[in-house]
Chains A and B, each alone.
Chain A
Amino acid sequence: MAEVHDRPPEQFTLRLRRYDPESGEAPYWDEHTIQLEPHRSVLEAILQAKDRFDGSIGVRCSCRQAICGSCGIRVNGEPALACHTHLDAAKSGAKDGVIEIEPMGNMPVLKDLIVDMDAVHWKKIRRVTPWLLAKQPVPEREYLVSKDSMVDVTQSMACIQCGACVSDCLAMEVDPGFIGPAALAKSYRFVGDPRDDQQFERLNDLAQDPQGIFDCTHCFKCVEACPKDVNPMGQIMRLRRIATGDHHIVDQNNGERHEAAVTGLVRNYGLLHEAELIPRSYGGNSWFAKFTPAAGKELLASFPVIIKGLLRGKVNPKIAVFGHKIPSSDLKSVQAIFDKIESRPERYELNLYITGEDEAPAPAAEPIAAGVTYESGGQDAPPTSPEGSVNQ
């Protein structure tokens, strides 16, 4: 590291997106060349430009050490904390050698690099009731909670509310009402907390909301954007898993039915039977789903597409009706895997955020490696190991 820090100052050119909505003028690009050591941050570069060339540049910042979450911006089109992005890295990622700096997306710009977090991010955070709704009676001294269950929620607690994931959310881009990655990750922090009394109510609310957990498109943008490895999309998937798996919440958005349809079709055929996916997602996981009003309406709406597909030979009528299967002996093996794993009393979840890539053998007392959490909807881990339960 010393070697890196010894490098002399270099010139870096910044291309800043400037915009003042109150001025009535259109946004424009502004270029400034600053001089700093390559290991210094993009934030320092912006502040130098502001200090030396143009005091009117709007930028928000505070701690300068990637903790306060104030300086979220876009660097070369990608979300980043300005204080946590080195100038040399930013330059190497720039198309033409000029570091492009813009405000975050999906939120209105107040001025230059400052976006209105209140209008979007904080509003969505408030939407998920971001506080503990304690189980009663509240103990006189403290709650006794297993270590595993608290470790389980630490990942979502690592969020610094910078808004980088909100900025890049592709579902929010087309559906601004989507609750979004930051708020849903925050929601898991309480859904996964064994002291909370409202797990079902929280999940039912988020599952039934058309812009809730089932509105996420699984695009990994938030996973990539987060500077703290919160893995918001992963938290959304855990919310879905507990909602459908533990509480059997059947939502009005087809979320539970879609999951049951994909899982059920793979169990029955080994492969996805695409033609059955839409009717079952709307009408329930059965061959008869296509005769339900919800599925019928959807199939009718898709009728022109279906006919066109058939006419073009895109869809083989035989496969459309009967689906395609893997050989029956293999299908039996696949079904045996389903049966064995789905009959376990607890689901396993290996979270690499907690375990890391640990190749060291686990202590003899723990048949499954450390970091496998006992996921039963935020309940405490069972006293016996899951492996033991399975072998019974």
Chain B
Amino acid sequence: MKVAYWPGCVSRGFTPELHGSMAKVAPLLDIELVELDRACCTGAGVIAEHNQELADTLNARTFALAQQVEGAAMMMNICSTCQGAQSECQERLDANTEYRNHVNTTLAGEGLSYEKGLTNKNFLWLLVEEIGLESLSARVKRPLTNLRVGPFYGCYIVRPRNRLGIDAEHPRDHYLDQVIEALGGTVIEYAGMRKCCGFPIITMNKEASLKQAGRHLGDAADAEADCLVTPCPLCHLNLDLQQPLAEKVVGRELDMPVLHLPQLVGLALGLDPKELGLGRHVVRPTSVIDWSTSVVGAAA
């Protein structure tokens, strides 16, 4: 399946292991990634906060570029925040023809135009809805047996439900659980799994921000998770990069590895932990790597 691929900024900046692991995993799932390297940042909600029309136009430009990728079945992203920010802009653009025409007038100088109805799916949604859980299971080479994984969804990919197309038929707010199970792992439920990581206020109220991250990590530790998995690189920054500081704020040792979704999928599909960039995390995913190498050893 060919997709117009939007990696986002952070996956190529401060969490390069996310973009890297996606590139490794894609061929194993028969996904052909055509990178939208001309597109700009979604604004992560902040540009929309500054000027709604500006955010809508910048994202319409990205959508228009995606629609130019020949043979692409849809657009795919690997960042929950991008998904949320893009869905918000797309909701307005798709709802109102006059507004869309107006935005397209700005894009016309570049010869671009956004046509209503782009399908834009996060890798998580694509895994479940396009590849399918059964097909995913069939590709597993190293089942996540005995690995206790806490899903961390991030806000932008679960709320608001209507905008994100979450309903009984598409329980997208449960897909991480389903993927963990399809890969053979055990889902660990904990209080913070659909709460905010705190990243958006890290520069405005650092203590509250880190308290959020620290509490969720602590809840997962109390539920005896071996690691967390998230589809959001911004959540990853607060949960992994900032974890040593979060430990100080909540006054407890956390030591909770946090994996990007393609990393978890890659491990189960038999990829080497190192080539998935697992050595690049601030909190070493020792429990995960020990588990994966020992299983490989047993299989050999």
Contact = CB atoms under 8 A, between A and B. Distances in A.
Q: Do A and B bind each other?
A: yes
Interface of A: 92, 170-171, 173-175, 178, 210-211, 214-221, 223-224, 237, 240-241, 244-245, 253-255, 258-259, 262-263, 266, 270-275, 277-278, 281-282, 302, 304-305, 308-309, 312-316, 319, 323-324, 326-327, 330, 333-334, 336-338, 340-342, 344, 347-350, 352, 355-359, 361-362, 367-369, 371-372, 387
Interface stretch (B43-51, B178-186, B218-226, B262-270): B43-51
Contacts of B211: 174-175
Contacts of B156: 220
A173 B214 CA distance: 13
B9 A272 contact: yes
Interface string B19-35: 00000000000000000
B41 interface: yes
A272 B13 CA distance: 8
Given A336-B109, A341-B51, A361-B97, A312 B40 contact: no
A170 B155 CA distance: 11
Contacts of B208: 171, 174-175, 178, 215, 217
Nearest to A327: B38
Centre residue among B41, B48, B57 by max chain A CB count within 10 A: B41
Given A217-B209, A361-B98, 6 more contacts: A223-B159, A266-B40, A271-B12, A319-B12, A337-B58, A357-B95
Interface in B150-193: 155-156, 159-161, 168
Given A271-B13, A309-B14, A314-B280, A171 B92 contact: no
Given A266-B43, A348-B52, A309 B282 contact: yes
A285 to B, nearest CB: 12
B52 A259 contact: no
Contacts of A259: 46, 49-50
Q: What is the predominant secondary structure among interface residues of chain B facing chain A?
A: helix
A369 B98 contact: yes
Contacts of B241: 305, 309, 314
Interface of B: 9-10, 12-17, 37-41, 43-54, 56-58, 61, 84, 91-92, 94-99, 102, 106-107, 109-110, 155-156, 159-161, 168, 195-196, 198, 200-201, 203-205, 208-209, 211-212, 215, 241-242, 244-245, 279-282
B10 A274 contact: yes
